[in-house]
Amino acid sequence: MRKSDSLKGIRKVFNRDDPQMPIIIVLLIIVAVLSIILAIGLGPVSIAPGTVAQIIGSRIPFIENDILPTWTNVEENIVWGLRFPRVLLGMIVGASLSMTGVAMQALVRNHLADPFILGVSSGAAATATLGMLFGVFSFLGVYSLSISAFLGAAITIILVYTISRVRGRINITQLLLSGVALSMIMDAITRIITLSAPNALGLHNVTFWLSGSLAGTKWGYLTLPFVVIIICMVILLVNHRALNALLMGDETAGTLGFNVGRLQKILVLVSSLMAGTTIAVSGTIGFIGLMVPHFTRLLIGSDHKRVLPVCALIGGILVVWVDVAARLVIAPEELPLGILTAIFGGPIFIWLLKRNTGK
């Protein structure tokens, strides 16, 4: 009896007709915070969630003096120096990839769009490797890596979009095939660059770009992707009506008063910015941008005003937990994160593809 009551409660909050957005957002934020604390504690050396919370609390202004240190220096180093930035980066990367997925799906009007599937990640990785090994973009300073990844992402999105646009419409076959072809070309470029690399560092890095990982995250990695997702979230939310209208078709969006040409440029820019800055710090992590928006829409419908914040939170939580799995599965060794997301994301992609063509 009680079980069916709680089920009804859940139905009432998560339904596509009239989802209770404030409750959903608060719930997801709570889950996100709990996930962060739990995930920090988990790894080859595990630390109790209470200790994790205390260590973090001791760094927060105003309450820092109320918390007495009961933990060891090693624990503090693991929590603050290693895992906290890593877990936070996981949140950011997950949110960023999910939002990139949403933006690209609106751009090409198809739910199969994802930065990994359409070769955008590979494009970003190729130019990032180029920048890293030869210093091609070193004149851009500290952000040279992110900016070079952004350029690669932008070039690939524009290429895929142009190739798959036939008579003003996106052709789904051309879209997926051009994505596959471009990601192969870009991966090949990445390999050529790393094999002809002037130093041995290259060999290590190519595996990072091709399989994705959050290992070795430093605090400094967080700033740029964080700033970028906040800005892009605002831009996308401000344009949520336009994004909804765009799903009705380019022409219809135009007749509803939107400047479609400008909107498409914004979407290309926003997607490449998020994909580029994310991939620069995490390598290519596939299928997050495909799966998360899809399940978000199943939960709360397609209105972008709701989809964007919810999918950012769900994406962040998902990547944090997949990263925990990556640390634990073959501990003390680590699995690359991108390999894990591919193992369960791949089948979901195939399922979506079958369902799509069945219609």
Counting every residue written for the chain, the total comes to 359
Residues of this chain, 296-315, that bind another protein according to CB under 8 A: 297, 301-303
DSSP state of 142: G
Among positions 248, 329, 350, 353, the unique one binding another protein when judged by CB under 8 A: 248
Q: List Cβ neighbours of 251 (8 Å cut-off, separation of 6 or more).
A: none
- The count of residues interacting with another protein (CB under 8 A) is 29
Q: How far is CA 2 from the centre of its chain?
A: 37
Among positions 110, 271, 277, 341, the unique one binding another protein when judged by CB under 8 A: 110
Q: Does 349 bind another protein (CB under 8 A)?
A: no
Reduced to 3 states (helix: H, G, I; strand: E, B; else coil), residue 166 is: strand
Contact predicate 283/210, CB 8 Å: yes
Among positions 12, 169, 204, 355, the unique one binding another protein when judged by CB under 8 A: 169
Q: How many CB atoms sit inside 10 A of residue 219's CB?
A: 12
Of the two residues 238 and 325, which places its CB atom closer to another protein in the complex?
238
Q: Which residues pair with 169 in a beta bridge?
A: 166
Which of these, 215, 149, 204, 210, lies nearest to 342 by C-alpha position? 210
Of the two residues 105 and 146, which places its CB atom closer to another protein in the complex?
105
Residues of this chain, 182-241, that bind another protein according to CB under 8 A: 238, 241
Q: Does 165 bind another protein (CB under 8 A)?
A: no
Q: Does 251 bind another protein (CB under 8 A)?
A: yes
Of the two residues 55 and 291, which places its CB atom closer to another protein in the complex?
291
Q: Which two tokens stand for residue 143?
A: 């952000």
Among positions 7, 9, 12, 16, the unique one binding another protein when judged by CB under 8 A: 16
Q: Does 250 bind another protein (CB under 8 A)?
A: yes
Q: How many CB atoms sit inside 10 A of residue 17's CB?
A: 6
DSSP state of 80: I
**Which chain residues interact with another protein by CB under 8 A?**
16-18, 105, 109-111, 169, 238, 241-242, 244-245, 247-252, 254-259, 297, 301-303
